[in-house]
Structure 1
């Protein structure tokens, strides 16, 4: 739980807009934002003329806008992704100075890459950064971006999809834990993802791609594989669940689809692992207390 954690939420509320206004009044935050005055004026106009509680559609004009939350569901910044042809450009801001230095930027970059490559299907992700913005340059370079071009006013850093997938498998992000998946489960889940293409499945695709693939005969018996049953602690509640394919899901019986929020979250983790995961309306904190049944450990390889 002490690893830096960021989730990106697409819903932008009126309260979010007021928070953004506060951040954009800080010259330290806006110093390297080329369009900060335009953004600030836009937000002010929106708040003044629109009396709606949800402003998502206004912020998504010309791109996709996400509020960045920490593990306590406190907004700490924002990410904007703009698709231009096959490429996508990322703008990232950690809005409160008190959060600088906590490596939240690196976690936000990781989440932004996940969206750009798995959800928006970008071929390249580009970040244009002022040469004096040493903190941002360091965060993007450490995340695997490489310098594409530079001028006295701008450095353009890029990550392509092939490099992203390679780094995802070989150099996992510092804020994530290793997860494990059997060869058979990976093949079945890849087929599931192909058939269920959509914005709600990209998290599962990301987890499949980053997982360490193991032989079903050699997988540790304390790993949550498909059709396993496990005792979880979700926030302050202990729950017993089974991880199943979507056609077998039954929430009332504790059978969680692998394509659901917590179902995707627990895939591949081991007993004792604890992590945060964003579900639609909040961040939940999950701990794998015990794997009660695992098909591979029981010799049930047909499941």
Structure 2
């Protein structure tokens, strides 16, 4: 069921920080590291001030809807150090986090669940994006 989403957009600042993260021994071979590298390899890179406001960037909070159930939730894409187990915080190294990075409102991701099941989530809005809020160096 997993499919490759449409092209993604990533800020040059996020790219630099994520590449540094992936170079660390603690994260180099993490479960989501390879998927994240793949996402970055296909991304269009833009400077933070040019980031469209409808894109999920690091530290963004996206509204997503489960296409099967209609349930809505907010997910904040964070660096591993900030993934403290709080509801809604998703590490960029988690499969769903790597898949969220760079998505635009209207795009979907397939989120793997236990027992081989999948959840399809659609990004329906961006509640907060650092770049759109002027927080370019967060």
The TM-score by the shorter chain falls in which range?
0.7 to 0.9
CA RMSD of aligned residues (A): 1.8
Aligned pairs (5 A) from 1:265-276:
265-276=99-110
Partner of 1:285: 120
Partner of 2:134: 299
Query: Contact (CA 8 Å) 1:261, 1:279: kept in 2 or not?
Result: no
Aligned pairs (5 A) from 1:167-186:
175-186=4-15
Alpha-carbon distance between aligned partners in 2 of 1:208 and 1:217, rounded to the nearest angstrom? 19
SS in structure 2 of the partner of residue 297 of structure 1: coil
Alpha-carbon distance between aligned partners in 2 of 1:176 and 1:232, rounded to the nearest angstrom? 15
Q: Is 1:193 aligned to residue 22 of structure 2?
A: yes
TM-score by length of 2: 0.86
Aligned pairs (5 A) from 1:207-218:
207-218=39-50
Aligned pairs (5 A) from 1:149-160:
none
Return 5+ residue gaps in structure 2 as ranges: none
Q: Is 1:238 aligned to residue 72 of structure 2?
A: yes
When residues 297 and 212 of structure 1 are mapped into structure 2, their CA distance, relative to the original with a 3 A threshold, is same
Return 5+ residue gaps in structure 1 as ranges: 1-69, 72-106, 108-174
When residues 293 and 199 of structure 1 are mapped into structure 2, their CA distance, relative to the original with a 3 A threshold, is closer
Higher relative contact order (CA 8 A, sep 6+): 2
Of 41, 52, 60 in structure 2, the residue corresponding to residue 228 of structure 1 is 60
1:143-197 residue CA offsets vs partner (Å, 9 max, x unmatched): xxxxxxxxxxxxxxxxxxxxxxxxxxxxxxxx53011100010000011111111
Partner of 1:204: 36
Alpha-carbon distance between aligned partners in 2 of 1:279 and 1:192, rounded to the nearest angstrom? 25
Alpha-carbon distance between aligned partners in 2 of 1:263 and 1:234, rounded to the nearest angstrom? 16
Partner of 1:262: 96
Instruction: State the shift of 1:226 in Å.
Output: 0.4
Alpha-carbon distance between aligned partners in 2 of 1:234 and 1:190, rounded to the nearest angstrom? 30
Return the index of the structure with the highest Cα Rg: 1
Query: Contact (CA 8 Å) 1:243, 1:263: kept in 2 or not?
Result: yes
